[in-house]
Structures are given as C-alpha cells and as structure tokens.
Chain A
C-alpha cells in the first residue's frame, strides 16, 4: 500500500478549511438577523447541517454494513466504522448547538421532544456500537457484529421517532412540511437559504475529508502492525 498522502486529500483539507471559514463569514455577515429570535437563530445553519450530515453518516454505516455482510470485504467494515465515529461527533455538535438555541427560544436547555429524544438515543446506540467494537479482537468477527448492530440500529431509530412523535412535538419544522405547533419556527429569506445550503455543503465536504482521513489512518495503522510483525520474525 502506498502510504504517501494523496494530493486530492490535501486539496480536500484546504477546501474544507476554506469552506468552513466562508460559512462562518456568511452566517455572521451575509445572512440577516432573524426578526423575533435575533442572533441566536444563527445557530440554525450549523445545527441543521451537522445533524443532516451526521444522520446520513449513520445511514451510510447501515448500508455499508449490509455491503460487508454480502461481500465480506474488510473495506466496508472500515467505512462503517469511520462513518459512525465522525457522525457521532457531528451529531453531538448538533445536539449541543440545538441546546444553545433552545435556551432562549424554548426557555429550557433540554426538553423531551421527539427529535431531541431520538437524537439522544441515536448517540447512545452508536456509542454502544463503538463499545461493541472495542470488545472484539478478531477483525472478521468485529466486522460482522458491528454490521449487524448497525442494521438493527438503523431500523430501531425511526420506530423510536414514531413512538415519541405519538406523544407530542414542539420542535419547529423549517425545511419541508410544517409544524404549526412548533415554537421558534421561522421562514427563511433568500440570503438565509443560501447561507444554509452553503453550510450544508461545507459540512458535507468536511465529512468526506474526515472520512478519508479516518480510513487512511486505519490503513496506515494496520500497515505499521504488519511491518512490526515482519520485523519481529
């Protein structure tokens, strides 16, 4: 395996940095201040972006889990692991930023609303995923177990959401559909939309960049392990 850093990856690093900086600038300088909520609404751009990208990462983990179980190629396991790890951090960012927004808007740091509760349970499911991986030494078995667990998690999450949704919700639905009972809802003007989609794009690129790094790190680690065994023989 070639362990040199690919040029495209370096390019992605630079691009991620530039996109994140521009997204921050857009959020603070370009997007207008929302009328009723004021400056705290600016949390929205990164909050929704990290949540969406994180969710897609978990979805990807389940898909590559199925791919691993059908093809038995270890690269799919690696991809699932990397996706879960990064998504866990992205989701945590989404939860914390949401909490910062909720304090002035809902007058509470936390409420047991469907989305919040589901997000918390999703974090716990994938934290359990990492604990499961940490407990298995055999790589093939670890790959099988985590693939199966990722699939289970993927089916359980929507059911959790429905279960809690049956109770009630106050989370605003800004994108697609609407929740008239939602508190802190608002409609986006054009610069807001542009800022939001730009942030979404920025975080998607950052995700891909981190994802690539994570996979490379894992490959280099196993390469080092191989070399060490060779050296000891």
Chain B
C-alpha cells in the first residue's frame, strides 16, 4: 500500500470521529464537565489557595487530564463497538495500523481540546499564568503518549466483559512513568527552572512516546483480529 493511501485511510478515520463528535458533542462535553468537576473537587480537597496551589498546579492538571482522558478513551472505543462500527472499519481494505493511528489522533485531538479549555479556566480561577510555551509542549508530548497507550488498551478493554471498569486499571499502572515525567516537567516550567533541570524529564516523555508508538504499531493487529 502506498503511503498516500495510508494517509488517506488514516485521515478518514480521524475525520469520521471528528464529524461524529461535531454532531453529537457527547464525548467532549462530558469530558469537559468531568474535568471541571475534578478541578473543583481538588479545590476543596487540597484547599487550593494562592500560596498552596503553586506547588501542586502541575499535579492537579495532570490528574485532571488523565481522568478526563480515560472517560474519552472509553467512550470513543465503546461507540465503535456498540454499533458494530469497529467490524466495519476492520473490513475496510486498509492497513489496520492506519485505523489505529486514526483513532489515536482523534483521541489526542479530543484531549487537546479539553486541555485547551481547562487551562485558561484554571488560570482564571487561581490567578496563575499558565501560558508558557514549555508547559504547552509538555502537555502535547504527554498527551501523545497517553493517547497512544490509552487507545490500544481501550480497544482491548471494549472486548472484555468488565470493560468500563477495566480501562483505568489497565492504563494507570502503565502510564505512571509518563505522568511522573509530565508532572515534573510541567512543574519545572511553571516554577521557572533552568532547562538542564527539566531536560531529563522531557527526554523521558519522548522516549516513552517513541517506545510505545513502536510497540502499539506492532501489537494492534493482535488486539482486533478475530
């Protein structure tokens, strides 16, 4: 299969997800409301006043993204499964990794949209400036790794009897290194650390992304075969 055809198939999957979301808006709206609820709960649980929140902002943000992310991943794969859409996709004469990466990009876009709304809201609520190019880079890189692993595991979880409860259990222990590195790197940028202090964490995120993109690429076929 030529590269052009591969890209066409990939973007068709992305476009399908975006169009479906544009019409129903059920995924983004629930992710968004959920994310805001998590931030509200953190406010009371951690007493996030101006002094206290400085040290924990990165942690609160990433926990929020991770929780909202599982919600979206579960829904995006469950809707494929419920209406037999996944079987239809698999019947298409394209490389299956194109379907997988299409789903990854769609899920990544949903995560980034939610993050793009949550960040200014958080900045507004806690009077903190979150517009920091470094922080945005960390959020994009971290979300890539999260979507890569999450989409594959969600494809697995929807085929399991206990699917709704299983995804976070499968996903969270595997994304621990990513979340640690993302929280540390974000915190570094927010506190204005020098680059050499942040760089190891950025490298770790990059390594995580590369390794898991490669493994997911090799193993997705095994997840969806009948």
Contact = CB atoms under 8 A, between A and B. Distances in A.
Given A125-B174, A132-B170, A145 B204 contact: no
Interface stretch (B42-50, B89-97, B101-109, B215-223): B215-223
A155 interface: yes
B162 A135 contact: yes
B160 A144 contact: no
A137 B180 CA distance: 35
Given A156-B177, A163-B180, A128 B170 contact: yes
B176 A121 contact: yes
Interface stretch (B119-127, B131-139, B206-214): B206-214
A123 to B, nearest CB: 9
B174 A152 contact: yes
A208 B11 CA distance: 50
A163 B181 contact: yes
A163 B161 contact: no
Nearest to B201: A166
A149 interface: yes
Contact of B219 (A151, A159, A160): A151
Interface in A120-142: 121, 124-125, 128, 131-132, 134-137, 141
A206 interface: no
Interface residues of A, number: 28
A132 B200 CA distance: 33
B166 interface: yes
Contacts of A136: 159-161
A148 B222 contact: yes
B176 A160 contact: yes
Nearest to A147: B222
A141 B159 contact: yes
A87 B153 CA distance: 23
B204 A166 contact: yes
Contacts of A164: 180
Interface string B166-206: 10011011111110110010000000000000001100100
Contacts of B160: 132, 135-136, 145
Which of B173, B176, B201 has the most CB atoms of chain A within a 10 A radius of its CB? Answer: B173
Contacts of B178: 159
Contacts of B225: 144
Given A135-B166, A136-B159, A136-B160, A156 B173 contact: yes
Interface of B: 149, 152-153, 156, 159-163, 166, 169-170, 172-178, 180-181, 184, 200-201, 204, 207-208, 211-212, 215, 219, 222-223, 225
Which 8 residue pairs of A and B lie closest in terms of their CB atoms, listed nearest first?
Answer: A159-B177, A135-B160, A163-B177, A163-B180, A125-B173, A135-B162, A124-B173, A160-B177
15 contacts: A131-B166, A131-B169, A131-B170, A132-B156, A132-B166, A135-B160, A135-B166, A136-B160, A145-B156, A148-B219, A148-B222, A149-B153, A159-B211, A163-B180, A166-B201
